[in-house]
Amino acid sequence: MIRFILKRLTSAIPTLFVIVTVAFFLMRLAPGGPFSLERPLPPQILANLMAHYKLDQPLWAQYLDYLKGLMTGDLGPSYVYRDFTVDELLLQGLPVSIQLGLSALVLATLIGCALGTIAALRQNRPADYSVMAVALIGITIPNFVMAPVLTLLFAIHLGWLPAGGWGEGALVNKILPVFALALPQIAVIARLTRGSMIEVMRSNHIRTARAYGLPAHVVVGRALRGALLPVISYLGPAAAALLTGSVVIESIFGVPGIGRHFVQGALNRDYTLVMGTVVTVAVFVVLFNLIVDVLYAWLDPKVRLE
C-alpha cells in the first residue's frame, strides 16, 4: 500500500511539470499583459515596470526562473496585487476555500447518500419521485441563480443570516455559501447513489442476504458498501474542485477564497497568480485521485493496488 502511494506520488511529478510548462506558455499567448490597462501606460513607465518584474527578459529565461522558484516553493510576486506574493495570497485564501469546500463536501455526501438510498429502497414510489425531482432541480438551477435566491430569502426577507461577507469565518457567514455550494453536489450524489443502490440490491449476494432474513439495516449496510463505489469515483474530482474554491460563490458572498484569484488572475493577466492557482489545483486533483484509488481498494476486495 505504502509503496503504491509513493509510486503514484513520484509519477505525479512529471504530470505536474507538463501542466506547469503548458500553462506557462499558453498564458503568454493571450494578448495584453498585466500592465495593459484601460488607461495605457507611457512607454517609459511600462519599460520601468517590465524591468522591475523581469518581464523584459526572454521568455525561456523567465520560465527557468519560474521553475527555479517553484522548486523552493516560491511562486513569485503577484503582478496585480502588488503588495502580496502569490504564496501569501494562496496561504491566505486556500484555508478559506478548503473550509467551505470541505463543509460542502461532507454535507453533500451525507445528505446525498441518505436521499439516494431512501429513493432506491422506495423505488418508483412517492418518496423516490420527490427525491429525484428535488435532485433534478438541484442540478438544473445554476449556482449563480440559487445563491442570490437564497440570499434574498434568508438575508433580506427573513433577516436570519448575513447576505454576504466572511466575518472572519463566523459560522453564520458560512451557512449560505456552504449550502449553495453543496446543493448541486447533493443532487448528483443522490442520483448516483440511487442508481447504483438499485443495481446492488438486485445482485446475488444481497438477494441471498435478504432470503436468509437478515435485518434490513444489515442488508442496506452491505449493499451501500458496493453502491458507494461510483459515488467515490465521482467525489475525487468533485472534492478537488470544491476545495479549490468557486468563483461564483466567492464573489456572490464576498468570500476571500482562491476561486476568485483563478478567474481574476486570468483576466488581469496576473501570470504568477494564475500559475500558482494552476499548480494548487493540479496538486489537489492528483491527490484526490490517489485517495479515490486507495478508498476503492479498501471498499472493493476485487481491486488490488499494484
Residues that bind other proteins (CB under 8 A): 30-33, 35-45, 48-49, 51-53, 80-84, 89, 92-93, 148, 151-152, 155-156, 159, 162-166, 168, 250-257, 260-261, 267-269
Do residues 44 and 56 make contact, with C-beta atoms less than 8 angstroms apart?
Answer: no
Rounded to a whole number of angstroms, the minimum distance from the CB of residue 80 to other proteins is 5
Nearer to other proteins, 250 or 293 (CB): 250
Q: How far is CA 37 from CA 26, 42, 105, in A?
A: 21, 11, 39
Rounded to a whole number of angstroms, the minimum distance from the CB of residue 81 to other proteins is 6
CA 282 to chain centre: 11
Nearer to other proteins, 35 or 296 (CB): 35
Nearer to other proteins, 191 or 261 (CB): 261
Do residues 269 and 32 make contact, with C-beta atoms less than 8 angstroms apart?
Answer: yes
Rounded to a whole number of angstroms, the minimum distance from the CB of residue 137 to other proteins is 22
Nearer to other proteins, 4 or 81 (CB): 81
Nearer to other proteins, 83 or 306 (CB): 83
The per-residue b/e assignment along 41-67, b for 16 or more CB within 10 angstroms, e otherwise, is eeeeebeebbeebebeeeeeebbeebe
Rounded to a whole number of angstroms, the minimum distance from the CB of residue 30 to other proteins is 7
Nearer to other proteins, 48 or 123 (CB): 48
Rounded to a whole number of angstroms, the minimum distance from the CB of residue 168 to other proteins is 8
Rounded to a whole number of angstroms, the minimum distance from the CB of residue 95 to other proteins is 12
CA 217, 103, 171, 253 dihedral sign is negative
Do residues 192 and 231 make contact, with C-beta atoms less than 8 angstroms apart?
Answer: yes
Rounded to a whole number of angstroms, the minimum distance from the CB of residue 199 to other proteins is 42
Nearer to other proteins, 33 or 195 (CB): 33
What are the residues facing 85 on neighbouring strands?
77
Instruction: Tell which phi-psi region holds residue 169, choosing left (phi > 0), alpha (psi between -120 and 50) or beta.
Output: left
* Closest to 93 measured CA to CA, from 204, 233, 247, 197: 247
Instruction: Kindly state the cell numbers that stand for 169.
Output: 469565518
Q: Is 85 helix (H, G, I), strand (E, B) or coil?
A: strand
